[in-house]
Amino acid sequence: MNNNKEDVRDDVRDDVRGRIDALVAVGRAAEARAVARTALEADGRDAGLFLSLARAHMAEDDDDHDDAAERVFREGLDAFPDDVGLLAGYAELCTRTDALDRPGRHARGRSRTPRPSARTSPGFNGVGASGDRGQLRFHECQGQ
């Protein structure tokens, strides 16, 4: 029975993330951020919710919101350092940042884009040939 409650909770989180993404898609990023924050406060930490909140900030396409997106990515990656969605989203934020305005962030995207090692390169379902999952870590995409 406990599994059923977890399945329902996962379905609700999926629905909330879908709603957030839909709000961003129609240009309602502020509302999307409010929904994401409410869900994070009500349901606790969730990698997908952190990603959705960060992307809602990125949708504004201004420096203040990019700074907020970076804070959200860092908070999410502190809690979920191996989450590929958060790692990829953070790398995207870093690489699209103007090198003159935010050189440190831009450099993190270019020089620290997380990549799994050849030994653990993800194959089907993220599992490498050795059977191990690719070892992506947040500290690999942080700059010096």
Range of the domain at 83: 2-141
Residue 25: pLDDT over 90: yes
Identify each DSSP E strand in 1-141 by its residue range: none
Q: What would the pLDDT profile of 96-139 be if each residue is shown by its tens digit?
A: 776 667 655 655 665 544 444 333 334 433 433 334 444 444 44
User: For the chain, what is the domain count?
Assistant: 1
The answer, as to whether pTM is greater than 0.85, is no
What's residue 52's pLDDT? 95
Name the region of 83 (left: φ>0; alpha: ψ -120 to 50; beta: rest).
beta
What DSSP element (H or E) covers 67? helix 63-79
Residue keyed to tokens 């201004």: 62
The CATH number assigned to the domain holding 52 equals 1.25.40.10
